[in-house]
Amino acid sequence: MSNIIEIENFLLPSECDNLIEVHNELFDKYGKLHNQTQVLTLMSTLLNSDKKSNKLKHLHAKISAHIQDIDKHSFVNYFEVVKWKEGLNMDGHYDFDYHKWTSVIYLNDNYEGGETFVDDKIIIPLKGKIVTFTGSVLLHGVNKILKGNRYTTPVWYMSTDAV
């Protein structure tokens, strides 16, 4: 199996819009800045409280089923909604060794630039698309956002083999 898996329409447009709305409503209360991006972690507190918890639990279940289709020994460690403002990028890097798999779900595509690169492959952002890869093995990052804001849901998975 390829170490880079792309699935279009993984999330419905309405699910993507809901996640952007969750970010915009809750970032000031629960979010943090990381390398100038606005990060809202969607595990723990937010999954167990708030009127949006059912939608977030549904997303968690969908992501869990996705990784189980790829690797029966892997499970979701955590996921976030990240807002990338115009001008930002992320240099190539590797994820922690204990994160066997990484996914990026694109929540919008109405911006310019901001493509994900994984190894030598450029991933074109499409709203609702998920790309999953071995983030601790493959060099990956984000090209500079040239115009607009980019919203993504990155996901990191652990393996029962490593626990």
Mean pLDDT of 156-163: 81
Amino acid 1: pLDDT: 44
All structural domains of the chain with their residue ranges: 4-159
CA-based diameter of the chain, in Å? 42
Question: How many angstroms separate the CA atoms of 73 and 67, rounded?
Answer: 9
Model pLDDT for residues 77-87, shown as the tens digit of each residue: 999 999 999 99
Q: Three-state DSSP class for 155?
A: strand
Gyration radius (Cα) of the chain, Å: 15
Model pLDDT for residues 33-86, shown as the tens digit of each residue: 998 999 998 865 455 555 567 778 888 899 999 999 999 999 999 999 999 999
- What is the CATH topology of the domain spanning 4-159? Jelly Rolls (2.60.120)
Model pLDDT for residues 104-114, shown as the tens digit of each residue: 999 999 999 99
- Confidence tier at 162 by pLDDT (50, 70, 90): low
Q: Is the pTM of this model over 0.85?
A: yes
